[in-house]
Amino acid sequence: MSALLDRLTTTFALDQLTETAASLSPQAFHLLLAPVFGDDLPEACYQCLHDALGEGTLANPVHQIGTQAKGRASYDNATRIIHLHPDVIEAARRQPSGACELAIILLHEFGHHLDCLLRQEYAPRLTAGSIHVAQDARLEEGARFAYLFCEIGPREPGKLTVAHLHGGDADIHIQVDQQALQHYIRLSQGHGAQHRENRYASHEGFSAGQGNEAHGYESWGHGSIEEDLKYAGFDEKQRKAIYFGNWLRDYSQLLDPKLVRAADAPKDFPAKISRAVLTQLVDLLALRAFPSLQSTPQERSHYVVTPDMLGVYRPSEHIDNPFNPWPPTVDPRTIDEAFEAPIAEDHALLQVDPDTSMKRYIFTSVDYMSNCLRDAMAAGPTPKGMRLFGAALHVLEDYFAHSNYAELSLRKQKHDRVLPWTAKVDCRHDWPVVTGMFAGSDVIASLAEPMANLLFKPSGSFESITPGQRANSEVALLILLQDHPDPKWQQYLQTSLEVRDTLADLPGFNGLRLVSWLISSPIRGAQDLLKLGYKTLLNLIGNSVDDLQTLRLGNPELCGSTNPTHSQLAKDHDVHPLHTLAALMARVAVREVGKAMYHHWHGTRLLDPVKIARSYFTHPFDSEWQDELVSHWASEHREMIEQAGNVSIFATLHDHAHQEVDTSVWDRVRGLFG
């Protein structure tokens, strides 16, 4: 960006809210904003905000351009300054999509500013200290406020002035097309963005699809780990394309033999769903999760999720232990030949290799990873090549998240109380590297939340009707009803939506719906409680799987077993004490393999990505690369190490005097997934 253009002035977000407040009574204003900022704030707070807007006394935050921004942009609650990264300003100057991004950022961060005012300035004015509100609204109020603009913004097409850039004698006006802005808001500030929060100390950040880092550098997932590929040379769009392949491996878990209906079997909705319908559902999720990769028909063609691209759940693609202590009554391959054969307890793959001190099935996954890498190397930096590279990285990252490699690395450094999650066996290092068994319950633990978010989205804000436009839940239901044995249900829904489209063309229809929405808010609240209750139930069930599986199977070390469950061992979520250690290890591996792949694709082939990736699949006693990293992490996380060695949970769960856990609800909801 030109050094001269170093100042930005804007009242864009403030003007939008002021115009809206002028057309609403204080009561209607409260009903409009409560779903954005929270019902924990009393109505009087919203009255104060309404009054300030009407009187023109609401303080507009300062906007500063600089690299101190956390991510693309952030709002500092302490100084009440919106920080904008220079890259955002440069993009806004050069292209319409960049101008739309700037407009969305200004709305998003202004939402954080309003929440700060409501909670830090208006709430303390209320009587006698009896009002207690949280310091911050739940989840991402900035995204909710930005999304509200789709409903309250001007409906007529045209240009909107977003900001002015100043410097020297230069003065540039940044404008956006109204309809284009609404389109971008729907893509970037929808349900997913509203349910994650980027917070860095007093800063609240604009996520811009960068993944969920709700706890800053203490929470990592496949997507945020693969952001480290920027150090290997990959740009942002390439990183998203690579992560797409990784993401697909996670969602292939939905296609479990207990859920999938054989192609020649009669329809049995909802107990069984066809592979084709489940694949379409994942394609819908992919369209919502990766909009920037699919903005043109040509780009969309590369990312349409097909049955071959998605596949089905195969333990070898996730380094999962293929043993199932509750084996299916039929061979999964009779449902679909893509499933892997069931593995009996005495199968050679379940044995520990005495020389490597690792379970033999792990090397089946290493071979799958290697094949993906070779295919990616041959395909080059194309959508297919990057998707295959992402699938390979999924296995590499899962080795640290789903095995006891981190635990054994700590034990190598004499942290002997850390649970190894395996019994001793006759092998070179006594304690073998193992991974977990991925049971049907783990599908709920891993995927119930995103599926619930898609299908049971609470209607916290008014959504106007555009003819032909469908909500996520409507599209998902139309897809699922293809598998209903009675075709009239899908036809009934389709006809209802078409009738609604016809009504939406009538002048003033959406305005009348907004009035109706405001007046009927108690009814709306009751309906949302129903949806939210069911969604919460799914999330609760998913979060309870760890304890239930621990109760059912117990600690493998005490049972003499080398077959822990996935939920006992997995370090995917930041609640696990070794989550950050596993993430650090995965980041190192991803960077090194990423550098090798980047150089291979650009003609420098001194480093072999396959050889480098395979080098990480060792017992920690046979590798040294991680020792310094583990030692440094351990010195700063003594409490986490203590938690990783706490066996009291098992004593509690196996205490006969302990209250019996009621698993009936869990079993019923698990039945929804087959």
Verify that 178 and 319 share a domain, yes or no: no
List CB contacts of 109: < 8 A, sequence separation 6 or more.
13, 61, 73, 74, 75, 82, 142, 204, 206
* Tally of CB atoms within 10 A around 3: 7
Verify that 52 and 100 share a domain, yes or no: yes
- Residue 207 phi, psi dihedral angles, 5° rounding: -70, -40
* Tally of CB atoms within 10 A around 265: 11
In a domain, 477, yes or no: no
Low-confidence ranges of the chain (pLDDT < 70): 1-5, 124-133, 151-157, 168, 191-225, 270, 439-469, 471-473, 493, 496-497, 499-554, 567, 573-575, 647-674
Verify that 205 and 236 share a domain, yes or no: no
List CB contacts of 264: < 8 A, sequence separation 6 or more.
none
| Nearest Cα to Cα of residue 88 among 77, 76, 100 | 100
pLDDT of residue 656: 33
Verify that 278 and 183 share a domain, yes or no: no
Verify that 77 and 170 share a domain, yes or no: yes
In a domain, 436, yes or no: yes
pTM: 0.63
Verify that 128 and 240 share a domain, yes or no: no
In a domain, 514, yes or no: no
In a domain, 593, yes or no: yes
In a domain, 498, yes or no: no
Which of 160, 181, 210 is the last residue in one of the domains?
Answer: 210
Burial tier of 136 (Cβ tally within 10 Å: 0-12, 13-18, 19+) = middle
CA distances from 327 to 254, 257, 273, 330, 446 (A): 18, 11, 20, 9, 21
In a domain, 15, yes or no: yes
Instruction: Give the model confidence (pLDDT) of 111-136 as tens digits.
Output: 999 988 888 888 766 544 444 667 77
List CB contacts of 571: < 8 A, sequence separation 6 or more.
400, 401, 402, 406, 578, 579, 581, 582, 583
Which of 210, 239, 261 is the last residue in one of the domains?
Answer: 210
Verify that 196 and 337 share a domain, yes or no: no
Query: Which residue type is seen at 70?
Result: K
* Long-range interactions of 285-290: CB distance < 8 A, separation 24+: 285/251, 285/450, 285/454, 286/244, 286/247, 286/248, 286/251, 288/190, 288/192, 288/454, 288/472, 289/192, 289/247, 290/240, 290/244, 290/247
β pairing state of 62-65 and 81-84: parallel
Burial tier of 27 (Cβ tally within 10 Å: 0-12, 13-18, 19+) = middle
Q: Give the H or E element holding residue 200.
A: strand 198-200
- What three-state secondary structure class fits 359? strand
pLDDT of residue 655: 38
Number of domains in the chain: 2
3-state helix, strand, coil in the chain (%, to 5): 55, 10, 35
- What three-state secondary structure class fits 323? strand
Which of 210, 245, 265 is the last residue in one of the domains?
Answer: 210
Verify that 263 and 390 share a domain, yes or no: yes
Structure tokens at 642: 């203590």
Q: Which residue has the tokens 């395909």?
A: 379
Instruction: Give the residue numbers spanning the domain of 614.
Output: 230-450+540-672
* Tally of CB atoms within 10 A around 51: 14
pLDDT of residue 666: 41
- Count, residues in the chain: 674
pLDDT of residue 501: 67
Verify that 158 and 251 share a domain, yes or no: no
Q: Give the H or E element holding residue 7.
A: strand 7-9
pLDDT of residue 11: 92
Three-state secondary structure along 463-530? CCCCCCCCCHHHHHHHHHHHHCCCCHHHHHHHHHHHHHHHHHCCCCHHHHHHHHHHHCHHHHHHHHHH
CA atoms of 614 and 593, how far apart (whole Å): 10
- CA angle (27, 31, 33) in 5-degree steps: 115
pLDDT of residue 594: 95
pLDDT of residue 206: 46
Verify that 96 and 58 share a domain, yes or no: yes
- List the end-to-end C-alpha distance of the chain, in Å, as a whole number: 55
In a domain, 493, yes or no: no
CA atoms of 506 and 274, how far apart (whole Å): 39
In a domain, 78, yes or no: yes
* Tally of CB atoms within 10 A around 348: 9
pLDDT of residue 136: 73
pLDDT of residue 564: 84
Verify that 204 and 155 share a domain, yes or no: yes
Verify that 206 and 237 share a domain, yes or no: no
Burial tier of 55 (Cβ tally within 10 Å: 0-12, 13-18, 19+) = exposed
CA distances from 166 to 136, 169, 478 (A): 33, 8, 50
